[in-house]
Amino acid sequence: MNKSVNHKTQYPRPSSEEDELNIVSQLAMQTQASGSTKIVRAEEDSHIVRADFESEEDSQEGNLRPLTLSEFMGQKSIKENLSVFINAARERKEALDHLFLIGPPGLGKTTLAQIVANELGADFKVTSAPALDKPKDLAGILSTITPRTVFFIDEIHRLKPAIEEMLYIAMEDYELDWVIGQGASARTVRIPIPHFTLVGATTKAGMVSKPLQTRFGIIQRFNFYTREELSCIINRSASILNVKIEEDAALLLADCSRGTPRVTNRLLRRMRDFAQIEGSGVITKDIVLNGMARLGLDSLGLEHYDREILLSIINNFSGGPVGAETLAISIGESMDTLEDYYEPYLIQCGFLQRTPRGRIVTEKAYRHLGLEPGHSFTEVQKSLF
């Protein structure tokens, strides 16, 4: 495997081990100056039920995140397994094996990484794959970590190949492989680093290379949360936000949350606003029903565009089948947005089917929209002439 790395900044050939360490220190200082450990956030989206984007308010409500495994709601099997692994590593006073978290956005992967660091009593460093632009960025971070540090990389499937190859040696041998000089005077420097725990999170596990996957000792997959688990999260968040919520209102809010805690907390804050301004300060079932209607959400959390997709297939294409590209054009959205965001939840609800011929609306979707199966605007229009 070729370990050579091209970079713009040139350093003189080191004459001693001290000079080599000085070079790494310069890399670390450059990395800290450029702020490469800052998470790159996507632009804020106006849709309240979108879990793939974090709004500015989400980052400000960090106090809603649990700090220990006992406070973390749901994902029972993941918590039980991690509890064993963390306690064993803590008793041996070793770094936890590298951890790979897989699941849709908004289910708590970043939160769980922070919990792992808290439970281990270790430092926590966080970045995202797009922020690691050059190998020196990764070298700067890893050369400044302390023993047993938890290093979290979000969206790890977007790592560049040169950085990923450097990470292989860091994960296995706990060394940094760096090429100094060029031409005949070039040589490889192996710089030892403390044993650390890499936590990688991804929403697209299929895009993570096999060599990287196999270097993770612990692999955990997140599932969507149940209605009861989301209700517990709502009650806990309500107590932190100092707002009262009735039990039936919490269950109704859980039904609208798409099985995602991020959406749950976002909706809870909106219901708190409605209860404060237009109610008595208590979130009741009537407050939730009114708030959902004003936000354009129905009892299952479908928003305007979700219903627009179903109605477009029913009215314009007689219920399907229709190709993804044609459907995306008909609703004015990109095909990537349609396939990556809207369709998964509609399929999970049983409202939409993907077939080799195209997308088809199910009878369950007709009933949810209050239509008779086989209803078509085209047929109604024909009967008028």
- Is residue 76 part of the annotated active site? The answer reads no
The CA distance from 254 to 292, in Å, is 12
Active-site residue, selected from the candidate residues 37, 110, 111, 362: 110
- Is residue 160 part of the annotated active site? The answer reads no
Active-site residue, selected from the candidate residues 149, 197, 203, 260: 203
Phi, psi of 352 (to 5 degrees): -140, 145
Q: Check if the beta carbon of residue 357 is closer than 8 Å to that of residue 321.
A: yes
Q: What sign does the dihedral 251-257-261-267 (CA atoms) show?
A: negative
Active-site residue, selected from the candidate residues 137, 154, 177, 306: 154
- Is residue 109 part of the annotated active site? The answer reads yes
Query: Could you write out the DSSP letters of every residue in 47-102?
Result: -TT-SSS--HHHHHTGGGS-SSTTT--S-HHHHHHHHHHHHHHHHHT-PPPPEEEE
Q: What is the DSSP letter of 322?
A: B
What b/e string do you get for 99-138 counting C-beta neighbours within 10 Å, with b at 16 or more?
Answer: bbbbbbbbbbbbbbbbbbbbbbebebbbbbbebbebbbbb
Query: What's the half-sphere exposure (Cβ side, CA atoms, 13 Å) at 189?
Result: 24
Active-site residue, selected from the candidate residues 31, 37, 50, 109: 109
- Is residue 337 part of the annotated active site? The answer reads no
Q: Check if the beta carbon of residue 246 is closer than 8 Å to that of residue 91.
A: no
- Return the C-alpha torsion angle 223, 225, 229, 232, nearest 10: 120
Q: In the chain, what are the helix, strand and coil shares in percent, each to the nearest 5?
A: 50, 15, 40
- Is residue 355 part of the annotated active site? The answer reads no
Active-site residue, selected from the candidate residues 125, 262, 266, 272: 262
Helix (H) or strand (E) holding 12: none
Residues annotated catalytic, as ranges: 109-110, 154, 203, 262
